Structure 1
């Protein structure tokens, strides 16, 4: 059975006058993007100065690593492989948990994120793709412009994906609509949580402040750039062992940090596959987590790689 991301894109609905409320929501979403992209970047820029001998501790590093792994998997396993592509099935509780943890990565509310990514697959590296690096040509200037656009420039454009068109299944799910509305609360938790833990572990306000900085802001900014690198770098350079209708490629140095998402070529060749790193030595942490969830009985009907299908998808040598 194919997922929504495999189906041809349905025709665009007729454009009509936008209601005032919808316009306000678009403006609010746009302002939020600026806040949650620019502020963490300033935090990341100040990280070197803060770490110079006084602003970093083992507690900060452990908390940052733990929150990074959890929230990154929320995006890769929850937002991406499950909610976007239907690589496996899950019960209601697991579905909600995955959506909430994905929201705590602060990459956008669940309906926005999934709609954007399904649109990306529908028009990958063609007109209509929200973040292709190849929309401006192949000259040196165009490539630089395309990299910026694919990495983060597209986030600043007032081009929200039509949710009625791309995520009708999630819009029909009351739980997903509620999680979408609670994105602000998830953001508060993902920033305040590390600060609270840092303060309790060190029993100091300073410990709370440094944990907020490193395990909150810096961790969030670092995860943003790793995720955006899949949109930019993994559509520009790398190996292409499988046949895809776009320029998706594998970039092995990003494999561990992205939890397996940088094995991007196979993903675009076979979007519903639960494992992206299918060749020997290709570490795919997200696939291993899905495998563990399956063993525990938390997910089922996992779409694991099929050798015959992989053989058909292999690019000619």
Structure 2
């Protein structure tokens, strides 16, 4: 039971900070926060993603490129230009690392106001940090895995963020339904997004990328991350932009 609880916590906390901090804040800036809160989010993203830590700068810039070049050869991740999900994610990894390590020239529209904490990213993205987290996961499994099949979850823990990415960036452009006609292959993967905390409403998001609420087009499209954001806004931890909550 401890292993299953651990995997659920790892899945949803890591996913929340990917959706809330990396996606809706770093990439789309649907809300603002204080400098202290931003730094806290960097730290909490590292704690919750662990060995899968993604930089707000690297993720934010790459995701803006995805929207600008969706389903073209310049798209960092598109099923149209890769034979399988593994080759797509390998290419995505290489592009992400080039962006995060500033090895390529980028248009200012992709980098403008993207949060960056170089010293922390260098530590959190280091081999030392990733290996330490991986060893920590392994030790936890050693003490709490009570049946052999629990160990099957360990590779999932190691690669949680890439798994989240492939669900949306591969399957979210192949299967599902659409609410809007857009000039790309984005789909809404799940009618009720219990798995990806709103991220699976991909067609909605590509139609209105500046909206904080990825769901809400149909009655059953509930976006859990958005409702958490509403609470944080009421508590004045973040401030949602009016343009991001306006219904179009």
Aligned to 1:250: 188
Q: Please say if residues 127 and 135 of structure 1, whose CA atoms lie closer than 8 Å, have aligned partners that are also in contact.
A: yes
C-alpha offsets along residues 78-126 of structure 1, whole Å, 9 cap, x if unaligned? 1111111101111112212223333452153332222211111110111
- Over 3 Å counting, the alpha-carbon distance change for 1:304 and 1:65 in structure 2 is same
TM-score w.r.t. the length of structure 2 is 0.78
1:1-317 mapped onto 2 (5 Å cutoff): 58-103=1-46, 104-105=48-49, 106=52, 108-135=54-81, 145=83, 147-150=85-88, 152-155=89-92, 157=94, 160-161=98-99, 162=104, 164-165=106-107, 166-170=110-114, 176-183=117-124, 184=126, 187=130, 190-191=133-134, 198=140, 206-207=143-144, 217-252=155-190, 255-278=193-216, 279-302=218-241, 303-307=243-247, 309=248
Q: Please say if residues 201 and 214 of structure 2, whose CA atoms lie closer than 8 Å, have aligned partners that are also in contact.
A: yes
In 2, distance between residues paired with 1:224 and 1:254? 22
* SS of aligned partner of 1:78: helix
Gapped regions of structure 1 (runs ≥ 5): 1-57, 137-144, 200-204, 310-317
Q: Please say if residues 239 and 249 of structure 1, whose CA atoms lie closer than 8 Å, have aligned partners that are also in contact.
A: yes
In 1, distance between residues paired with 2:69 and 2:197? 25
Q: Please say if residues 27 and 60 of structure 2, whose CA atoms lie closer than 8 Å, have aligned partners that are also in contact.
A: yes
In 2, distance between residues paired with 1:163 and 1:109? 18
Q: Please say if residues 15 and 164 of structure 2, whose CA atoms lie closer than 8 Å, have aligned partners that are also in contact.
A: no
1:186 Cα shift? 5.4
TM-score w.r.t. the length of structure 1 is 0.63
- Over 3 Å counting, the alpha-carbon distance change for 1:270 and 1:73 in structure 2 is same
In 2, distance between residues paired with 1:186 and 1:86? 28
In 2, distance between residues paired with 1:209 and 1:110? 36
Aligned length: 232
C-alpha offsets along residues 2-53 of structure 1, whole Å, 9 cap, x if unaligned? xxxxxxxxxxxxxxxxxxxxxxxxxxxxxxxxxxxxxxxxxxxxxxxxxxxx
Gapped regions of structure 2 (runs ≥ 5): none
1:70 Cα shift? 1.2
In 1, distance between residues paired with 2:235 and 2:131? 30
